[in-house]
A and B are shown apart, each in its own frame.
Chain A
Amino acid sequence: MGKRDKTPELRQVTEFIWELPRTGGMRVPGRVYADERLLPAVLADNGTLQVSNVAHLPGIVGYSLAMPDIHWGYGFPIGGVAATDPREGGVISPGGVGYDINCGVRLIASTVPKEDAVSRIREIVTAMFRDVPCGVGSSGAIGKLSTRDVGAVMRDGAAWAVESGYGTATDLEHTEESGRLTTADPDAVGKRAIERGRNQLGTLGSGNHFLEVGYVDEVYDDEAARAYGLEPGMMTLMVHSGSRGLGYQVCDDSLDVMQRAAERYEIRLPDRQLACAPVLSPEGERYLAGMACAANYAWANRQILMTLARRAVARVFDATEPALGLRLVYDVCHNIAKMERHTTDGRERTLCVHRKGATRAFPDGHPDVPSRYRAVGQPVLIPGDMGTESFVCAGTERAMAETFGSSCHGAGRVMSRSRAKKDARGRDLRSELDAMGVVVMATGKSTLAEEMPRAYKDVASVVDVVDRAGIAAKVARLKPLGVVKG
């Protein structure tokens, strides 16, 4: 059993908000989004203690927040959101972004009827498994890059992939930040990170990363679904991956620097993994410039993975991508820190918003929402656990007012990986999923076991909470047909 620290008491504020009152060195209270049904899962591990730890960060404003998919991470909880004000000594903490910088999801719509996808699903999954490098030790679909090329990827993000023949300029319009953070500075990234980035561009990775073929099962909001191009009964594709070894190394390299910085700026924190530096300090600025490089690498990676998947599907149907209506709906990142304008305490200011396992959920009318979606709000993509269902939501004003424009990012684990593996022993997960109508191809048996459906909270209950709490609005539900896992 993991070490359990003393879990703080939660006080109910509204039907969906539970507050951790300020105690000890907490600079703000904590707030967790959940309902009575999810609460036992929320309290089952150290997640809420981590919400109170995050509340110790200098310059934090409002609340230390947790989305309903909260679970125990390292430093920040997964599902954690925290905003700091740089002009009031606000800090940036690499622990609030995580190792897989800009891990994220993209959703592709199509005009392929579900029935056609079902009848070819084995061929589709096999083609994607063959064409998209995945699993441990796999190298990129595009060969080993030169150091100079890695620099260009880190600077230009998804646009680099498009210029190299992967996808179209329209894809960039439908990507958060257009697939590129302009604050990236390759000089802020160490040699080792660059070396790790050379042969992993265009690789899915292992663990919870996946490619999924599904279909639009139900639409809750016709107008938004129409704007997003999601038609009931049509096939969809989903890509979940991140910045691979380059991102892990950027994070790893920053931790030593941040520990020294925390001492230098006399920042005392309850968890060493929260080590941080003021946003407006050489250490803070350097981390943000390096983090942006890793984020851009991740966007280029997902752009390439999506293109490989779209091409595989087109080959199976012996048709062109446009003829199948294969179109990127949106790409969101759920491990990131961004400088954004928000109104808190009655004034608008620029804040450093950390989202660690949380998705941006900007409302209709916001200038950062692509013009095509501006009347309905930003698409929020919430994949469920393998073999069940996923949701598409839209960002809301309420999220802007309460959660720095953030919502949940997935189902949220409830079972440890080792527990899931023990639980899966003796079971044939592939056949079980097959019986549920989901074809799975994975490189490792244990990846399948760790990601087994019962290891996660029910995604429908998680999405129900964000929808009813008003921090994202349900648009559509997707059901899976096939999955490729690393």
Chain B
Amino acid sequence: MTGRPEYTEIEHTADVGMTFRAPDIRSAFAGAAAAAFDMMCDLDSVASGASFEIRVEGRPDDLEHLMVRWLSELLYLYSSEGVLLSEFDILELKGVGASEGVGSLLTARVRGERFDATRHQMKTELKAPTYHQISVERPDDEWSVRVIFDT
């Protein structure tokens, strides 16, 4: 399990975004989810009683695509079930290396709880992750992630 990374909010005029660094690719995906939910509601106020299995597939060797699919899936869970998420456990991550085949796959176990207006102070509601200026890359020995969301 990976907790919330030290992320920086991007100063985008209309929308919100975040950028952060991660030691490995699993932390990059888990951290992006944690940062996204933290931008919506302080993660410290969200319990982790409910658990969900997530499975998303992406195009081969296209980390930005897999990142958008992953974050979209979590925001769908939020909007359809009213669930705020706080813990993200990446179980499987396949097809993200240059020679690993035809598609990428991410499976995860995520935990959270149902939104409760009496305890959860919402900050910003994120509609969807966008491809605008998105990057999931490894410029040096660390991973660097950048995502802008429509709000």
- Residues on A lying within 8 angstroms of B by beta carbon are 1-3, 45, 47, 71-75, 78, 98-100, 135-137, 192, 195-196, 206-207, 245, 248-249, 251-252, 255-256, 259, 271-273, 275, 413-419, 443-446, 450
Contact = CB atoms under 8 A, between A and B. Distances in A.
- Please report whether the interface of chain B is mostly helix, strand, loop or mixed according to DSSP: mixed
B79 A444 contact: no
B80 interface: yes
Interface in B107-151: 115, 117, 121-125, 127-128, 130-134, 146, 148, 150-151
Given A136-B122, A255-B131, A446-B123, A192 B14 contact: no
Nearest to B72: A252
A73 to B, nearest CB: 5
A100 B64 CA distance: 22
B136 to A, nearest CB: 13
Contacts of A418: 9-11, 16
Given A75-B130, A248-B128, A271-B131, A417 B122 contact: no
A3 B123 contact: no
B115 A417 contact: no
A298 B140 CA distance: 46
Given A137-B117, A272-B64, A72 B13 contact: yes
Contacts of A255: 68, 131
B53 to A, nearest CB: 17
B128 A415 contact: no
How many chain B residues sit at the interface, stated as a range, is 35 or more
Interface string B95-117: 00000000000000000000101
A192 to B, nearest CB: 6
B114 to A, nearest CB: 9
B118 to A, nearest CB: 12
A1 B9 CA distance: 8
Contact of B121 (A2, A100, A252, A445): A445
A196 B127 contact: no
Contacts of B115: 136-137
B128 A251 contact: yes
A207 B131 contact: no
A251 B64 CA distance: 17
B127 A78 contact: no
Given A3-B146, A137-B82, A245-B80, 17 more contacts: A3-B10, A71-B13, A72-B12, A73-B14, A73-B132, A75-B131, A100-B127, A136-B122, A192-B76, A207-B124, A248-B150, A271-B131, A273-B130, A415-B13, A416-B10, A416-B11, A446-B123
Contact of A444 (B16, B76, B122, B151): B122
B13 A99 contact: no
A72 B12 CA distance: 7
Nearest to A207: B151
B24 interface: no
Interface string B9-30: 1111111110000000000000
A417 B131 contact: no
Contact of A2 (B10, B72, B76, B127): B10
Nearest to A3: B133
Contacts of A251: 128
Given A2-B10, A74-B15, A273 B132 contact: yes
Interface centre among A3, A45, A413 (most CB of B within 10 A): A3
8 contacts: A3-B133, A71-B14, A195-B80, A248-B150, A249-B76, A415-B13, A417-B15, A418-B11
A272 B80 contact: no
Contacts of A249: 76
A33 B79 CA distance: 38
